A and B are shown apart, each in its own frame.
Chain A
Amino acid sequence: MRARKVLRVACAGALVAVLFGLATGATDDCVVSITGTVEPFAEWSDAAPTIAAGDFTGSVDGTTISQVGEVLETTKALTLYANANITITAAGTANSGIATNGIETLTTKYKITGNVTVPDAAWKTAGSGVGEFFNAANSYSVTHVSGDGSYAINLGVRLESPAVRAADAGDYTCSITLTATW
């Protein structure tokens, strides 16, 4: 009789303990879901890159023009970050994109190569005329590949001194703007 009572009490205790969650090792989960959105966008790794006089090569003395009809060239490696298909266009800004020293200018040409659909095979003169570098119809396409959000864009610059006279001595400067549109 006493044993049955003890058994009943034990069973009741165990039942209460289990139902009240007093047993160790019990768990409960909360599943947390997180979302965030990445918009289509593009940006240049360097928004204001520069090409210094010392970056040019090709002349007799290396980096400066010291003869008539001499040519300097350089290629500036740019990086375009993008997660959408991009169109790049160019515009002349300071000195209309033509290397200038006072009233003196050097013939200035450009070309774009790298991860563009149709890279330039030849130099294009700084100007807005048909076939020239700043012409509105002159654009470059970059096709985005999923997971590859970085594209190499190479800007070539060519400076030519006049063939029949010596250009004024001094520093020649200009700037251009490359615009990525998506």
Chain B
Amino acid sequence: MVIRLCAKTERGSRPEAQDGDVHRPGMLRTAGSVLAASLIVCAASAVGLGVTGWAEPTGSVAIAPSFTSTNQANSASTALTLNHDGPVTLQASEAAAGDGVLTSPSSDALATAYKLTGAALGTSADTNWVSASDLVHPSRSYSVEGVGPSEITVWVRGVTPADRVSDAGVYSATVILTVTW
């Protein structure tokens, strides 16, 4: 949609510049201004549409069912849409150390692992669970191929300890997925 809009604007400005009128220099400047303004409008539109970037700035994963025993593994996922007009790189990180680990208000923690999957990830897609620390220290890198929009599925797994019961409560974690192009 953005490219068609640019072409239309250019066609509209050409006849004025080719009239041979005595005021041609001024009209040329006017035409140039119109073209520049059109380019800016087009570019702004492109940025607004998110040529490359996440369709949504946030995502959420609710692990269900609840944990009710020791050594219990539960997992869930969410599908994120990534817009990209070429190959890009995807990396995970934490805002603060340990943010990627499911942690309770009492500071108890569950063993937390992640998987990123999706056709666009090609061979860089995870086939096995990656621990929270391995995901972000150092940041694991994923190659997103082709042209989007691409669906990136984030899987999260929590596991309760085998040798004790974790504190009861809601455990939370946060990771940041950064696309670089």
Query: Mask for B137-175, Cβ within 8 A of A = 1, else 0?
Result: 000000000000000001010101101111111111111
A50 at interface (Cβ–Cβ under 8 A)? Answer: no
Whether A40 sits at the interface, judged by CB under 8 Å, is yes
Q: Hey, which chain A residues are within 8 Å of B128, CB to CB?
A: none
Cβ of A171 under 8 Å from chain B: no
Query: Contact at B107–A147, with CB atoms within 8 Å?
Result: yes
Give chain B nearest CB distance to A168 CB in angstroms.
43
**Which of B58, B64, B112 meets A31, CB within 8 Å?**
B58
Choose among B43, B53, B63, B167 the residue that contacts A34 (Cβ–Cβ < 8 A).
Answer: B63
Q: Determine whether B129 belongs to the interface, using a CB cutoff of 8 Å to chain A.
A: no
A-B pair count, CB < 8 Å, reads 165
Are A38 and B67 neighbours in the complex by a CB distance under 8 Å?
yes
* Size of A's binding interface in residues, CB under 8 A: 36
Residues on the B chain within 8 Å of A149, using CB? 161, 164-167
Q: Please, how many angstroms separate the alpha-carbon atoms of A39 and B166 in the complex?
A: 9
Flag the segment in A16-24, A88-96, A117-125, A133-141 that touches B: A16-24
A37 CA / B175 CA spacing, docked (Å): 18
Question: Of the candidates A20, A42, A81, which one forms a contact with B43 in the assembled complex, judged by CB atoms under 8 Å apart?
Answer: A20
With A15-B39, A20-B47, A29-B179 known, 10 other A-B pairs at CB within 8 A are A15-B40, A15-B43, A21-B51, A21-B181, A27-B181, A30-B177, A32-B59, A34-B102, A36-B158, A150-B163
